[in-house]
Amino acid sequence: MSACETERRGAGLSERARSLSIGHVARDEFPDGAHRLGGTALYAAATAAHLGVPSALVTRVGPNERAELTRTCAES
């Protein structure tokens, strides 16, 4: 399970998750106006998932970032 599978499935937290990250997903902004999602909780969940550990991420998402987080999850 990737760090974002719960978002894609629209389901509750999977019982299969062995790593659970809870916290903020930050919006990293750069001088040229570009931005990307970041933050400790996102990086911890993504790292665990990339290492093959079934993981989940619990965060609160504002209405402006929900679509971007969904896209980011689909790409990982």
One-letter amino acid at 21 equals: S
What per-residue confidence (pLDDT) applies to 6?
46
Which pLDDT tens digit goes with each residue over 15-33? 577 889 999 888 888 999 8
Query: Cα dihedral angle (63, 41, 72, 48), rounded to 10 degrees?
Result: -150
pLDDT at res. 12:
53
Whether residue 4 contacts residue 57, with contact meaning beta carbons closer than 8 Å, is answered with yes
* Whole-number pLDDT of residue 15: 56
Q: In this prediction, what percent of the chain has a pLDDT beyond 70?
A: 75
- Specify whether the CB–CB gap between 75 and 42 falls below 8 A: no
A 10 A CB-CB count for 66 gives 11
pTM for the structure as a whole: 0.63
Q: What is the CA radius of gyration of the chain?
A: 12
